[in-house]
Amino acid sequence: MGRPTQWPSLLLLLLLPGPPPVAGLEDAAFPHLGESLQPLPRACPLRCSCPRVDTVDCDGLDLRVFPDNITRAAQHLSLQNNQLQELPYNELSRLSGLRTLNLHNNLISSEEQSHLQGAPRSP
C-alpha cells in the first residue's frame, strides 16, 4: 500500500447570516473605500514642524524662500536662523491671526523690513 495522503492545512471560513441589507443605509462605523479612521493630516510646510495647529516652526532650515502651505490658523511662526532675504507681503497678510513672527538671524535688510516685498508703499 501507499503512504497515507497528507492534506494541506485548510482555513475554514464560517459565514453567519446577518440581517438583510436595507437599501440606502450604510454601516457608518465601517470605513468606506478611500476613507481612513486616522484624522486628516494638518497642512505644514515642507521640512517645518507643526506641533500644534496654531504653531509653525521652520527654525534653522536654511530656507531661502518664504515657506508656502502655512495654515491660516497659524498664530506663531518661527523662521529664525534661515537665509531669507525677502518677506512676501501677500503671504503675511493672508496670515491674519499671526501673533508672533520670529525672523532673527536671516538676511533681511532693514529697508526690506520697513517695506515688505509687495506691500503698498506710502509716498
Over the stretch 64-123, which tens digit does the pLDDT of each residue have? 999 988 999 999 999 999 999 999 999 899 999 999 999 999 999 866 545 555 555 555
Residue 66 lies in a domain: yes
Q: At 43, is the pLDDT very low, low, confident or very high (cuts 50, 70, 90)? A: confident
pLDDT value of position 82: 98
Q: What CATH number has the domain bearing residue 59?
A: 3.80.10.10
Tell me the per-residue pLDDT of 95-112, one tens digit each, with 9 for 90 and over.
999 999 999 999 998 665
Instruction: Give the range of the structural domain holding residue 104, as residue numbers without chain letter.
Output: 49-114
Rounded alpha-carbon distances, angstroms, from residue 61 to 8, 23, 31, 83, 123: 58, 55, 38, 9, 36
Number of domains in the chain: 1
Rounded Cα–Cα distance for residues 74 and 42 (Å): 11
79 located within any domain = yes
* Domain-located, residue 30: no
Strand order in 100-102's β-sheet?
A: 49-52, 55-57, 76-78, 100-102
Is residue 122, in this structure, part of any structural domain at all? no
State the pTM of this model: 0.59
Read off the DSSP letter of residue 115: S
